Amino acid sequence: MQIDRSSKMTRMQKSITAYFWLRLLALGFIIHGCKAESSRQNTEKTPEKKSIKSGQEWYDTDGKLIQAHGGGMLYHEGVYYWYGENKDTDTKFPRLRTDIIGINCYSSTDFYNWKNEDIVLPAVKDDPGSALYPQNVLERPKVIFNDKTGKFIMWFHVDDSLYQKAHVGIAVSDSPKGPFIFKESFRPLGFESRDMTVFKDDDSKAYLVFGSGWHNKIVIAELSEDYLSLNGSYTTHLHTDGPPLGREAPALFKRKGKYYLITSGTTGWFTNPAQCDVAENINGPYKTIGNPCEGMYAEVTFLGQSTHVQKIQGKEDAFVFMADRWIPTDLKNSRYLWLPVQFNKNNEPVLKWINEWDMDSYK
């Protein structure tokens, strides 16, 4: 791995040290909140589910623990496809990370029962120069469909194990079930890029949304028509002095013509308050609404971190907030939090903990 010795990088390294200590301080807290259960696998098929119960072990239709962390979702021709990080290996110390196994895909027609469609973008084990070599980082995959080319385009965060490369990667497939073919990774428009998402608007324009500059801003950059590159147009938002107050884990959705951007603070695997910002235009200006979470554990996003907001088809005004409840010392056993997004009388998103819910929970 190459280390850039520029003054910028020195500042970064100081930030990394501070970041690391912050994580250690928070460790006791998170372990208290999340029970690190074993990576138990059911031997029998999972009974059909009719609801969502956040924070519990979730099994696919074959009875295997679901591995789709930092995930995103695509709805295509009557099927939901859930893409996420396969972390089914040991967590490495002292840096809390897992080797890359690949990106998993699960499919569902009812949103409750998920069929494993296997690894759709695997690690490249035999080429230490590959961005997808296991010792690197592959996170937060998001897939969008290009209506003109008929291709499924996956964007994701790729990095070295110290998070200094700060690249986005692109992979392409002819099918939502893959295989996705890795194209390239790079710093978008020259910016460092870490946590990211992609958002496809109603007019089919699509945007890469990423945390940049060691978490001191969020960049929204328009994709080219084929979604395989950036067209050069971008805006920057949510400027801060960086961790722990920087913003990351972006999840962007649109409702009634307004754009809502939910982010987390920057405390690594450790929880912090979420924030929601709203804009009339994708390129802002974004106005802060504050923490959308209400009730017990609202200040720690119910022990979760945002990853995506999914619109439910066939229901008016139904959105699901998707988050990861990380278990830093045992990442493969991290849990998923999915909560219905509610809206208050000012049309501001509200997230409340609900033990169990289903599609009838929406009006």
Give the binding range for ligand GAL (CB under 6 A) out of 8-16, 182-190, 264-272, 313-321: 264-272
**Which position among 55, 70, 102, 284 is part of the footprint of ligand GAL (CB under 6 A)?**
70
The neighbour count for residue 221, using CB atoms within 10 Å, is: 23
Closest CB to ligand GAL among residues 195, 277? 195
Footprint on residues 138-197 left by ligand GAL (CB under 6 A):
139-140, 195
The neighbour count for residue 106, using CB atoms within 10 Å, is: 23
Instruction: Sheet with 293-294: list strands edge to edge.
Output: 293-294, 349-352, 342-343
**Cβ of residue 249: shortest distance to ligand GAL, in angstroms?**
5
Closest CB to ligand GAL among residues 60, 139? 139
∠ Cα 350 355 360 (to 5°): 70
How big is the site for ligand GAL, counted in residues (CB under 6 A)? 10
In the block, which residue shows the tokens 């979420």? Answer: 274
Which residues in 257-284 are b (16+ Cβ under 10 Å) and which e? eebbbbbbbbbbbbbbebbbbbbeebbb
Footprint on residues 197-256 left by ligand GAL (CB under 6 A):
248-249
Binding letters toward ligand GAL, positions 300-339, x by CB under 6 A: -----x----------------------------------
**Which position among 155, 182, 260, 269 is part of the footprint of ligand GAL (CB under 6 A)?**
269
Give the C-alpha separation, 306 to 309, whole Å: 8
Closest CB to ligand GAL among residues 111, 199? 199
84 binding ligand GAL? (CB under 6 A): no
Backbone angles phi, psi at 302, to 5 degrees: 55, 35
Q: Let me know if 177 is exposed, middle or buried by CB neighbors in 10 A (0-12, 13-18, 19+).
A: middle
What does the binding site for ligand GAL look like in residue numbers (CB under 6 A)? 70, 139-140, 195, 248-249, 266, 268-269, 305
